[in-house]
Amino acid sequence: MAQLHYDRLSAQDNSFLLWEKTGNVRMHVASTNILDIGALRTGTGGVDIDLVRRATESILHLVPRYRQRIYQIPGFDHGVWVDDPRFDLAYHVRHTALPKPGTLGQLKDLVARVQAQPLDRNRPLWETWIVEGLEGGEQFAMITKIHHCMIDGASGVDLANIQFSISPDPEPIGEPVPFQPRPAPRRLELFLDEARRTAGIPLEIVRDFRSFVSETEDLREDVSTRVSALTRLFGMGMSADETPINGRLGPHRRFEWVSCRLDDLKAIRKGLGCSINDVVLTIVTGAVRAYLRGKGVDLAATEFKVSTPVSVRKEEERGELGNKVSSWIIPLPIAESDPRRQLEQIHELTEELKETNQAIGVQMMNQVQEWTPSVLLSLGAQAMSGPINTIVTNVPGPQMPLYFHGARVRAIYPAVPLMQGMGLGIALTSYAGTMGIGFNCDPDIVPDVELFIARFRQSFENVAATAKVEVGPMSEDVNEIYASLSS
């Protein structure tokens, strides 16, 4: 008899599937990459999609989740990973082209349509779109969609290290490792296994507590830290003030991006004596303040809270898929007009969050989810999505140029999923001396995102002026950023 195989999702990973039940929530992490065609150019000037698919197939054995799909456990609303016996690489690696002239605006429209569509739960939860026809004919785009239940920001960077190379020379494509899907369990077996697991939760709680006590050097201090983190988290409340950036999420998306020089952000950080994350949050504060003020919002009476994801992935867990992420929840000082005082307040708050370890509070609530029936909306899920107005995520990426079989990666523009009630999300990824900034929005909630981005650019310049730093351009065309780097 064949041995059955499945992997149960963690409670945190499963929560990302549950969130999609709230209507028009799309919980995939997306990225738009701009690459030089280089060695991927065909004789007719397009992209060699067959080579792209062969290269992708050659590494699939390194990321087993890419050939697994979700099965639901009957009666428990919880998912497990099983091998997909009907896996079709051509479905997941797609090929399309922009109509002439192939402008960045046309590419953004395509990216928005791709991001607005949910991933098919009956297949492995990822897609890669190869887009040719960009204006000039020298570059193409690679749009990636991966469900958040498979990946977080840190593990996403690890995947890039598998998919891309630091060598500009095309590497030989090896023969794919044969894929032999393992039999999936029957629904009754899944139900019985989960029922036994649920019945054993009291013993699991006891084991986890004993392990915590035995591994903790100072039990009193550790317990005090965790209680303080939870108290602070609940003290922030479980709801956020309504603003023009918030509303009932619709089915449509719009995606915009800009780039800037990473060295400019580093110079601002040095000039103001803080972290790059503090600089980013200060720029966001100035943009939100100016945008909401223009909408007539009473800034003094409005608390605007952002979630900033914090990786809790251990070094020995690098390369693993799934989520090892917590978050900080930060009220931005939008009532303050001076960028320096904004930064001082943000820096003071982030330092306090490090000391009180607020991320432990969210992490503990995620652990509680493992002991909670999946049919209930977990406390951890509420902490991540309920009490905030937007998400600002900043993931450091590789600083050396990357290549996909000789095609140089020029830009990486990340997109963070929008939670229910959230009309705008901001994601940043540093790469090869640049900072790619993606703005994912619901155009029915934020119909004028270009105005918000204008406020973001102005805030960037204001913070730079406060630090007495002269900065280069912030542009939607990464080629302009590279030109400024070489000048």
Q: In 284-433, at which residue ranges do the beta strands (DSSP E only) sit?
A: 304-311, 325-332, 390-396, 403-404, 407-415, 424-431
Q: Are 175 and 58 a contacting pair, CB within 8 Å?
A: yes
For residue 184, tell me if it sits in a domain: no
Q: Which residues of 335-355 are buried (b: 16+ CB within 10 A; e: fewer)?
A: ebeebeebbbbbbebbeebee
In a domain, 296, yes or no: yes
Indicate whether 122 and 222 sit together in one domain.
Answer: no
Residue 181 lies in a domain: no
* Residue 33 domain-assigned (yes or no): yes
3-state secondary structure of 365: helix
Query: Is 339 inside a domain boundary?
Result: yes
With a cut of 50, which residues of the chain have pLDDT below it? 1-3, 153-157, 206, 209, 212-213, 218-219, 223, 225-227, 229-230, 233-235, 237, 312-319, 321-323, 359-385
Q: What is the C-alpha to C-alpha distance for residues 366 and 389, in angstroms, rounded to an integer?
A: 21
Burial (0-12, 13-18, 19+ Cβ within 10 Å), 203: exposed
The confidence score (pLDDT) of residue 377 equals: 38
Same domain for 263 and 118: no
Residue 91 CA to residue 63 CA, distance in Å, equals 17
Question: Strand pairing partners for 436?
Answer: 259, 429
Count of domains for the chain: 2
pLDDT tens string 180-222: 999 989 888 888 887 877 676 555 554 554 554 455 554 455 5
- My answer on whether 323 and 470 are in the same domain is yes
Is 148 in the same domain as 243?
Answer: no
Burial label, 176 (beta-carbon count in 10 A; 0-12, 13-18, 19+): middle
In a domain, 367, yes or no: yes
Please tell me the predicted confidence (pLDDT) of residue 159.
60
Domain C-terminal end among 142, 175, 208: 175
* 391/148 Cα distance (integer angstroms): 14
226 and 159 belong to one structural domain: no
CB 283 within 8 A of CB 268: no
Q: Are strands 390-396 and 304-311 parallel, antiparallel or unpaired?
A: parallel
- Tell me if 145 sits within 8 A of 111, measured CB to CB: no
Q: Is residue 407 part of a domain?
A: no
Strand 424-431 relative to strand 390-396, pairing: parallel
Scanning 258-338, the segments in alpha helix (DSSP H) are 262-272, 276-294
Residues 344, 474 within the same domain: yes
Q: Which domain holds residue 269?
A: 217-399+412-486
Boundary (domain end) residue, out of 175, 206, 239: 175
* CATH number of the domain to which 59 belongs: 3.30.559.10
Q: Do 24 and 83 lie in a common domain?
A: yes
CATH number at residue 476: 3.30.559.30
Based on the domain organization, do 156 and 263 belong to the same domain? no
- Contacts from 269-277 at CB under 8 Å and sequence distance 24+? 270/467, 271/467, 271/468, 271/469, 272/340, 272/343, 272/463, 272/466, 272/467, 274/343, 274/347, 275/347, 275/350, 276/394, 277/308, 277/350, 277/394
Length of the chain: 487
Shared domain check, 100 and 236: no
The model's pTM is 0.86
Are 82 and 193 in contact by the 8 Å Cβ rule? The answer is no
Indicate if 239 and 146 belong to the same structural domain. no
The pLDDT value recorded for residue 204 is: 56
What is the model's pLDDT at position 157?
A: 46
- Whether 37 and 132 map to the same domain: the answer is yes
Is residue 80 domain-shared with residue 224, that is, in the same domain? no
For residue 72, being part of any structural domain is answered with yes
Q: What is the pLDDT of residue 170?
A: 86
- Inter-axis angle of helices 339-356 and 276-294, nearest 10: 130
Looking at 175, 196, 229, which one is the last position of a domain?
175
